[in-house]
């Protein structure tokens, strides 16, 4: 038996489909939204639609942005000869919070995982190699997660880049094995960056 009307049930279902939102949280969000002033709900809905319609990949690093080139890539004060390779935009944001990294990034949007059917062609690896051929890059820092998939991706990237003569480093093991970068504190991230090693 449905406890609520069709609209409320559909709203709870919609919120439940979001990652990290269970049924109880979805209920709370649905009831909060229904009780908000109509103008706020319309503004909220417009913001979601506008973000979906206008957010795209940066043409250089493939992070999410609403411009052709993201603010990091377009910043002339950044060191464009150093590229940090991360799995997703959340990992990029985690390193940016430290305020210490001055290079640029490349976002893979995933990691190689044969078990899940994700191969090198399913992430932004080809784009990284193209970028290395056109930009004057001196170092590539591989900052994938310390998971099996992250390590596999790091080794694959290292084997691709080594023959080019570009220095390839890996963030140090200040990041715990199995940990995701977005949940790690700034001090640990800085230690991992400072202690990166040659691959």
Q: CA-CA distance, 42 to 70, in Å (whole number)?
A: 28
Q: Which fold has domain 64-198?
A: Dna Topoisomerase Vi A Subunit; Chain: A, domain 2 (3.40.1360)
pLDDT at position 183: 78
| Domain locations along the chain | 6-54, 64-198
Q: CA-CA distance, 96 to 185, in Å (whole number)?
A: 12
Which of 158, 192, 189 lies closest to 172 in space, CA to CA? 192
The class (CATH top level) of 6-54 is mainly alpha
Which of 68, 98, 108 lies closest to 193 in space, CA to CA? 98
Q: CA-CA distance, 128 to 124, in Å (whole number)?
A: 7
- Residue 56: DSSP 8-state: E
Q: Write out pLDDT tens, residues 18-55.
A: 999 999 999 999 999 999 999 999 999 999 999 999 99
pTM of the model: 0.78
């Amino acid at each position: 038996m449905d406890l609520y009307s069709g609209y409320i049930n559909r709203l709870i279902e919609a919120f439940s489909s979001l990652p990290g939102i269970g049924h109880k949280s979805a209920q709370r969000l649905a009831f909060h939204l229904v009780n908000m002033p109509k103008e706020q709900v319309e503004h909220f809905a417009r913001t979601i639609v506008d973000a979906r319609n206008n957010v795209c990949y940066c043409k250089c690093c493939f992070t999410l942005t609403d411009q052709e080139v993201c603010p990091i890539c377009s910043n002339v004060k950044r060191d464009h000869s150093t590229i940090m390779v991360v799995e997703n935009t959340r990992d990029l944001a985690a390193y940016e919070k430290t305020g210490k990294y001055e290079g640029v990034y490349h976002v893979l949007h995933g990691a190689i995982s044969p078990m899940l059917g994700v191969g090198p062609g399913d992430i932004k690896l080809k784009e990284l190699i193209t970028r290395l051929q056109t930009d004057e890059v001196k170092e590539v820092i591989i900052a994938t997660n310390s998971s099996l998939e992250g390590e596999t991706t790091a080794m694959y990237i290292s084997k691709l880049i080594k023959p080019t003569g570009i220095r390839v480093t890996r963030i140090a093991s200040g990041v715990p094995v199995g940990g995701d970068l977005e949940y790690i504190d700034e001090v640990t991230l800085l230690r991992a960056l400072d202690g990166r090693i040659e691959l």
